[in-house]
Amino acid sequence: MAIRQRVLISLALALALLVLAAFVIPWRSSRSAPAPAPLPSPPLAPPPAAAPPHIGADGIGDPYYPHAGDGGYHVTGYDIHVHYDPSTDRLEGHTTVTAQATESLSRFDLDLRLPASAVTVNDRPAWIHQSEGKLQVTPAVPVLAGAPMTVRVDYAGVPSSVPDGPGVPSPWVRTPEGAVAVGEPEIAAWWYPSNDHPSDKATFTITTIVPAGLQVISNGDLLGGPEPAGPGWQRWRWQESQPMATYLAFIAIGHYDIVRRDTRFGLYLAAYDRELDPQIAGAARDSVERTPEIIEFLSGIFGPYPFHQLGGVVPDAPTLHFALENQTRPVYGPVFFASGQDVSVVVHELAHQWFGDSVSVRHWSDIWLNEGFATYAQWLYTEHTGGPSAAQTAAEDYARYPAGDDFWRIPPGAPGDGVKAFNDAVYLRGAMALQALRTAVGDQDFFTALRAWATERADRNGSVRGFLAVLQHVSGKDVADVARSWLFTPARPSAPPG
């Protein structure tokens, strides 16, 4: 009897809580974008005024990119399907985003620059509105806090025709035979819908259908390809099963020479565009083929290689003026190999596999954790191969920029905005800052802290403050003064870094 009573009371309580929750929990919705839509008008009618008005956060909360992402859910996986015709640059896609709501959602956003035609949430059609790179989704039934949601988006467009802003070209790059989707911090929205911020990492499957005879290279494991996909078309399926930031997902489409072999770090797969000038192609191979031995060197310093595949891609994309640390398989602009080998850029992108990819920034203002560390790895490699020591390189670079030079105005620990985040100062002064911190705590504690950071935060995120806390914890030394003058002060520190 007593047990039955208790059960009844609990049931009544639970019911009362549910009813209360339905009234009390404010349905979250994002602010509508104020500016006019550059994309076609919304394909469906606006939603009925069912949800109580509530202005939620616009964006995930990144000060440098306030509109990026959405803080109302966490993505667990992306299942991307794209069909791409290089002759027209037309991309047709349907991507399924599996996520978990972190608050009750009457509306949420995905980042997508290509026009969407239809969206379902948990298999029911949703209302959509698209403007300024944001795809606003109003599900037929609100998603409760903690509940899983499956969002399918159908979309199509011409990615190279969508600029990155007034006068800023599309990051989607066409090549003689195909295209590459490579960019930082922005590229995802040109080929798939996402919660586009490195603090929301997820696993990926990437299926691409292209004209028969072309290759598609992407992150992680090759599940299948080329597979028949209708007359004249072939399908390539890739999978990244470790969490990955949205900007690190890539596809390269073209005619590639592919090199594959097993290594003790996993399957090595590199791809060289057959359209490359033969001299550039040769220098590219001489550099990128060093990947396994460079990973061997770096894992001796930073700890175990964080992934199970490795490689690199060199597209024939003369306008790609950078290299990017795409997870497991960096992409290198051919410009790096125009005057011969460049092993240093390979070291840089591979160091990012630990610092940037496995341990990702919490906010874009933490970019020193990526670029300062990858640059410092280049200095360590130079020293390892008989060049000047990292301390000498740091001293030379310090001497190269006199006090008063603009170089010193950007503090790498807090560069100030999204453009300054990729300034030389973040790379070079950022690496000098590591040398200064190394001098302050001593070699043993410095390298122990680097390994601890890479291991403890593997597959997750970190902040500049978090790294300094680890360094301080490992060494038992107060690094606040060194950090202040090297990372956070917009002026030249009074003494060289070591």
How far is 71 from 105, CA to CA, in rounded Å?
A: 11
Nearest to 352, CA basis, from 217, 475, 244, 190: 244
Torsion sign over Cα 433, 439, 440, 444: positive
How far is 477 from 142, CA to CA, in rounded Å?
A: 51
Nearest to 235, CA basis, from 257, 218, 258: 218
Nearer to ligand ARG, 276 or 431 (CB): 431
Nearer to Zn ion, 273 or 349 (CB): 349
Q: Tell me the closest approach of the beta carbon of residue 375 to ligand ARG, in angstroms.
A: 8
Residue number closest to Zn ion, CB atom: 374
- Binding segment toward ligand ARG, per CB under 6 A, in 16-24, 132-140, 317-325, 393-401: 317-325
Nearer to ligand ARG, 267 or 335 (CB): 335
| 249 lines the binding site for Zn ion (CB under 5 A) | no
Total residue length of the chain: 498
DSSP string, 306-337: S-SEEEEEE-S-TT--SEE--TTS-EE-GGGG
| 426 lines the binding site for Zn ion (CB under 5 A) | no
Sole binder of ligand ARG in the list 422, 447, 452, 458 (CB under 6 A)? 422
70 binds, among ligand ARG, Zn ion, none (CB under 5 to 8 A by kind): none
Q: Site map for Zn ion, 353-382, x if CB under 5 A? A: ------------------x--x--------
Sole binder of ligand ARG in the list 135, 251, 323, 394 (CB under 6 A)? 323
Q: Tell me the closest approach of the beta carbon of residue 447 to ligand ARG, in angstroms.
A: 22
Q: In the Cβ-directed half-sphere of 235, how many Cα atoms lie within 13 Å?
A: 14
Kind of pairing between the strands at 116-121 and 124-125:
antiparallel
Q: Site map for Zn ion, 280-309, x if CB under 5 A? A: ------------------------------
Cβ pair 166, 138 in contact under 8 A: no
Distances (CA, A) of 256 to 311, 312, 424: 14, 12, 32
Nearest to 139, CA basis, from 29, 34, 218: 29
Q: Tell me the closest approach of the beta carbon of residue 182 to ligand ARG, in angstroms.
A: 9
| 324 lines the binding site for ligand ARG (CB under 6 A) | yes
Nearest to 272, CA basis, from 252, 293, 295, 292: 252
Distances (CA, A) of 88 to 91, 236, 276, 451, 484: 9, 20, 22, 47, 52
184 binds, among Zn ion, ligand ARG, none (CB under 5 to 8 A by kind): ligand ARG
Q: Site map for Zn ion, 38-57, x if CB under 5 A? A: --------------------
Nearer to ligand ARG, 109 or 371 (CB): 371
What residues line the site for ligand ARG (CB under 6 A)?
184, 322-325, 348-349, 371, 422
Contacts with Zn ion by CB under 5 A lie at 371, 374
